[in-house]
Structures are given as structure tokens and as C-alpha cells.
Amino acid sequence: MLIDFTVENYRSIKDSITFTMEATAIKDHSENIFDDGKKTLLKSAVIYGPNASGKSNLLNAMNFMRHFIENSATEYKQNDTIGIESFELNSHTENQPSLFEATFVHNKIKYRYGFRLDNNLVHDEWLFYTPNIRETKLFIRTGQEFDLSTAFSEGRLIVKENKTRVNALFLSVVAQFNGDISNDISNWFKQFNITSNVDKNKFEHYTHDMLSNSESKYKILQLLLSVDMGIKDVEMKIRDVEYEEVPSFIQKMIKDDKAEKSKITQSEIITKHMQYNEKNEYIKDIEFKLKKESTGTKKFLLLAGPIVETLENGEILVIDELDNSFHTQMTEFIIKLFNSKETNPNNAQLIFATHDTNLLTHKLFRRDQIWFVEKNIYGESEIFSLIDFGARKDTSLEKNYLEGKFGGVPHIYNLYAESIDNGN
């Protein structure tokens, strides 16, 4: 489970900021927290802020860390650039390395792992763990120098044979050689299911795969029936596709793999609705292709797979713009799935960004579950928790937020109207 995440010098984030899922001592909503044996953690957290404030950049930073851990040892070659974006609005930081660090609990052990890198190389990398009470070093990397503890002997051969490129993570390389601890850490980061409105189809394969399994399909269907979208059933159908129908990049993949053009198939999600006669008597089921459904229905259905899998396996789901295309009550339903002991027995965590102020209520969240992001006059994103404001349990959160008392709201100047008045 995630305890906290720190990022520095990444996109609109200049100075180090830390987002934490560690619960404070307040007594609100005890069902929204859990004890993992090391810390008391939150089951969900919401992030508010105006457009271009840096909410997405914080979530993208989590995604970058996950992606680089998973792929730096295999997808990058010796001279490949890493693709990091530093804070460019300050002459000091634009050429400085960026920092990423996560503290988390996995298999009842607390870990702290992080690295600093620029577009060409990994400057530093470190891994600590807390097997009992005291945090202990597993390894520290400085450039291409490695300081390993006896507990991380799995990395010795990698160091001896100089197998870690300057633009690859030591942890990722050791994991490729089946190191026990490094594999554990890498597998934990794979539990980060991160999606956004921009790439909302990214996790479509989760739902596709789960609809092919009867047990998983049942759970997805129960989720759909719970929100009453008028869908009676949902299934995955496989159809033959002509070579000319598939996108050009897939055609290239087929050529590269020397696959037969005549054996191209495509899976698609089909929903079933009930048809009635003029007396409102049920006649038969009508099948819809997913593209015929509303935008909200499509989004919910494609998110259903990640939601079910995250809850079932006690993983972490990170969603940017969760409210986009959803009614407030739909978003509230998803949040309650994670906050509930009944539907979230494995203590999965939900982290999401939203503009929906209807969700800003004590009935739904603890005060330490609510975060705000805003930019200062220098274009730097800053993050702070509602708990920092000392808001009481009877404070009207939505009203105070919209009035700017918590920050994280847009500053709107009607310069257009003024230009019209001035005759410009």
C-alpha cells in the first residue's frame, strides 16, 4: 500500500512536494482508513485544483516512475534519451535532474525507493526497508558506484559484471535477473493502475480480458447493474477483420511478425438491452456495439475492469478527471466502493483528481483525504491538504472552497469584457 509519493523538478513541479496517504489522528470516518501493520493509511484521496494547476502532472509523475521501473532495463538502449521533462520556468532547474520517491508497504514490509535522473542518465538511486522498527539500507547508487548491504546480495553479480547502463535503473536490471527483493519491488509498482481522461482507453484490455472470464464478467456485470445503466448483459465477441480494416501500425506489426493476413481477429464489447412492445411487455434482447452507448456508459464500462481488479487484489487505482462524463452520484458510487469495508476488504486505494465540488462534503471524506493543487506566480505547482487549514467538521467545504478559502481555484480576470468596454 502507498504511504507517500515525492516528486521534484518535473513539469510544473519545481520544489519537492509530497503527497501522502498516511492518515492523521482525526476521528472522522474510521471506515475510510485501515491499519497495515506499519501505518494507518487512507483508502482514497481526492485532488482539487484549477485547470493547468498541476494535478495531472502529479499523477503523471507517478505514472512515469512506474513506467521507468518497468521498462528502463529492457526498452532503452545505451544512448537513448530518457524523456524526462524538468521545470523549465526557472533557469536553475531546467538542466537539473528530477527526483521521484515512493514509500510503501509490501508483504508487510515498509520500503522507501527513489531515484534522480535527467534525460541522459540516472544520477542517484536508493532503496531502504524497515523489516522491524529501524530503516535499513539495501543499496545506494551514486552515478555508476554502488553501495550494497549484505541483505541485497542479489545485486552483487550485476555490479561485478557492470550490467547496469547509465540510463537504466539498477533495481530494474536486478529484477530482470530474478532478484527476490527487486522483483518484489517491481511487482508492487505494477499494482499502480493509472489512467486519465486523455488516455481513457489505456486500460481497456483489463475489461476485455475480464469479460472473457465468467467469474470476472459476473463482477463487472454486477457493477453495471448497481448503477442502472439499462444494460441487461455485456459480453466479448470475436470477429474476423480484413487486413485493410486495421490501422496502419497494426498492419506493420503483422508484416514484421509475418502473420497471416487472413487470420486477423478483433474483440469488441457488446451490451444487451431489453426491447419492449407498445404495451411495455418484454420481447427480446437488443445488442449494441459499445460505440452506440453514451460517453459516460462507455467510460464506466472501460473503467469497470480496473476497478474490479484493483478492489479484488488490493491494488492502487489512480484516475485523472474521474468525474469527466459522470454524474456526481456515479463518481460518489465509485468512491464509496473503495471506502467501504464490505466492497474493499483487501484495502485497495483510490487516488483521483476532479473538478466536481459536489463531492466536497464531510459525509464522504475525512479532512485528510482532500488535497488541493495550485500554481504560484512563478508557475510552480504547490500541494496542500485540507487538514492544513484546520477546517472543522461543521465547515461547509464546497462553499469555502469555491470562495477561495482553501486555495486551488482559478483566478479569472474578465479582460475580454474590459477590452470591449474600452472599444478595443
Is residue 63 in some structural domain?
yes
Q: Which amino acid is at 367?
A: R
Could you give the strand order of the β-sheet that contains 282-289, starting from the edge strand earlier in sequence?
233-240, 265-276, 282-289
Is residue 148 in some structural domain?
yes
Last residue of a domain, one of 260, 287, 308: 308
User: Which domain range does residue 327 map to?
Assistant: 1-191+314-424
Is residue 59 in some structural domain?
yes
Q: Phi and psi (nearest 5°) for 271?
A: -105, 150
Which pLDDT score is estimated for 36?
84
Q: What 8-state DSSP symbol labels residue 266?
A: E
**19 and 94 both lie in a single domain:** yes
Determine how many CB atoms are found less than 10 A away from the CB of residue 181: 21
Determine how many CB atoms are found less than 10 A away from the CB of residue 373: 25
The three cell numbers of residue 107 are 508483504
Last residue of a domain, one of 308, 332, 358: 308
Is residue 250 in some structural domain?
yes
**174 and 293 both lie in a single domain:** no
Is residue 249 in some structural domain?
yes
Task: Annotate 51-64 with b (16+ C-beta within 10 A) or e (fewer).
Answer: eebbbbbbbbbbbb
The three cell numbers of residue 326 are 459522470
Specify the number of domains making up the chain: 2
Which pLDDT score is estimated for 57?
96
364 vs 44: CA distance, rounded Å: 10
**275 and 337 both lie in a single domain:** no
Assess contact for 29 and 40: CB atoms under 8 A: no
**299 and 319 both lie in a single domain:** no
The CATH number of whichever domain residue 391 belongs to comes to: 3.40.50
Which pLDDT score is estimated for 198?
46
Is residue 390 in some structural domain?
yes
Q: Could you tell me which residues are beta bridge partners of residue 328?
A: none
The three cell numbers of residue 128 are 531502504
Determine how many CB atoms are found less than 10 A away from the CB of residue 160: 9
**288 and 392 both lie in a single domain:** no
Report the Cα 296 to chain-centroid distance in Å: 20
**213 and 331 both lie in a single domain:** no
The answer for residues whose C-beta is within 8 angstroms of residue 298's C-beta and 6 or more apart is 290, 291
148 vs 59: CA distance, rounded Å: 31
**286 and 169 both lie in a single domain:** no
In a 3-state reduction of DSSP, which class is residue 145? strand
223 vs 410: CA distance, rounded Å: 35
The three cell numbers of residue 248 are 496502419
Which pLDDT score is estimated for 367?
95
Nearest one of 298, 308, 302, 342 to 216, comparing CA atoms: 308
The answer for residues whose C-beta is within 8 angstroms of residue 338's C-beta and 6 or more apart is 43, 44, 311, 317, 344, 348, 349, 350
Which pLDDT score is estimated for 422?
62
**183 and 38 both lie in a single domain:** yes
Q: Phi and psi (nearest 5°) for 243?
A: -55, -40
**111 and 19 both lie in a single domain:** yes
**292 and 387 both lie in a single domain:** no
**302 and 326 both lie in a single domain:** no
Is residue 196 in some structural domain?
no
Last residue of a domain, one of 293, 308, 323: 308
Taking only the tens of pLDDT, the chain with its 424 residues reads 999 999 999 999 999 999 999 999 999 899 999 998 778 999 999 999 998 899 999 999 999 999 999 999 998 888 899 999 999 999 999 899 999 999 999 988 999 999 999 999 999 999 999 998 899 999 999 999 999 999 999 999 999 999 999 999 999 999 999 999 999 999 999 988 887 654 555 566 778 888 888 898 999 999 988 988 889 999 888 877 776 766 665 666 666 665 555 567 777 889 999 999 999 999 999 999 888 988 888 888 889 989 999 999 999 999 998 888 888 999 999 999 999 999 999 999 999 999 999 999 999 999 999 999 999 999 999 999 999 887 777 788 888 888 888 876 676 555 555 555 665 5
Judge residue 128's burial from the number of C-beta atoms within 10 Å of its C-beta, 0-12 exposed, 13-18 middle, 19 or more buried.
middle
- For residue 393, give the H/E element and its range: none
Query: In Å, what is the CA distance from 251 to each residue of 107, 240, 321?
Result: 43, 15, 33
**2 and 47 both lie in a single domain:** yes
